[in-house]
Structure 1
Amino acid sequence: MLTTADIKSRIQEIYKLEQLSGGTSAVHRRHPSVKLVSAFVFIVLVVSFDRTEFGRLVPFIFYPVVLMALSGTPWPIVLKRVALALPFALLAGISNVIFDRAAALTLAGIAISAGVVSFFSILFKTFLCVTAVLLLVAVTPFSQLTGQLRRMHVPDIFVTLFEMIYRYIGVLLEEASSMYTAYMLRSTEHKGLQMRHMGSFVGQLLIRSFDRAERVYAAMKCRGYPGGAL
């Protein structure tokens, strides 16, 4: 069962990367625009390769490795968060293994299908792109990052939405945790959330999220929030 300590620990995990952004390395001292553009170019280059060009993606691993080394970012913190995104890539790529069975190459006398190659390509692309974004957050204070996005004329509504999601994800996690705790107190015979209750749980979380969002926004308006940058 989740406890208050568990909730606080998970919320702290969310913002631990931002705490790293206060470092003094050469990477941290670079202008936010340099880091933002370099991450954007890196991601564009990675996704531009064809799904069967796995071998050509391998050299791109040097970008996050060198960046972590120069900035002093602990790799376990980054990899722990990257792992959260990989299951989605796994679901996206598994269909290629099933349906695309044409031989793409032969390795040690074993024919490897294009579906298998594209599957690993999707996983590796996801790993590289998510790592690049996480490292950008780890070496750039969030306020500087959003400020630079506005200076680059990214529509203000998108930047504000990005800020709100980032700042209030902890509130959503608290809401979900309190609901889960209440569920477990009412279902002592179960060890976790049952699949048949998943739909109603998510639906209630959505409704409570809307209600909390309205109350948070009303409180912000009462304090004079005019919209735009937080």
Structure 2
Amino acid sequence: MSDTIALVDDDRNILTSVSIALQAEGFLTRVYTDGETALKALTDNPPDLAVLDIKMPRMDGLELLRRLREKTQLPVIFLTSKDDELDEALGLAMGADDYISKPFSQRLLIARIRAILRRTEHAGGGNGGDAEGEAAPVLERGQLKMEPAKHRVTWKGDNVTLTVTEFMILEALAQRPGIVKTRNQLMDAAYHEDIYVDDRTIDSHIKRLRRKFRQVDPEFDAIETLYGAGYRFSEE
């Protein structure tokens, strides 16, 4: 079954051109010109991934994402203006999986969509049922438990809700506790395509991971920063 991509943007030219490009690659598309209309459609009948513009009338992309995150972990890519660094960081902090600055290459957007969908399927979040082959083994490190087949994470028995990108970064760190992972290595773990992602994106994901774990345990400090080197998962 083809994956369905929802496009939400008030620029009809972008909606038309991106929709045509995605359909040529075998995707199904649904398009919306404002956040309010998209919110009900995306919650009532979730697609496999949504591409959201940030700057929209009636309800902007940030508010749409905030409302979506109350009900779903639907993978989301943001489209941002070139100079909207604050919006990019805020979007990632709120749970977006990735962002692309306008003007953008449709080829790049399609590559990132494929990468996120592949990670979603790896984490057991796809719509196509059980993955073929054996399920990925449960990973336990101290108080951390990760179940890739269920896309489930707990800390001291409490659930921690992560996006697909957050899950993949945490898994890369927890697989080898005590070993420093550079930002490039974490990029490779989270983005299997040959896609450029800057350091700030990885740093934003790490900050969001820490924030989510501290919501269930204010003393959480298992993800350590090694300045100038990268990050590691504490052995303790």
Q: Which TM-score band (shorter chain)?
A: under 0.3
TM-score w.r.t. the length of structure 1 is: 0.23
- Quick check: which has more Rg, 1 or 2? 1
Query: Which one scores higher on RCO, CA 8 angstroms, separation ≥ 6?
Result: 1
Q: Structure 2 length normalisation: TM-score?
A: 0.23
User: Structure 1 or 2: larger strand share?
Assistant: 2
Higher helix proportion, which one?
1
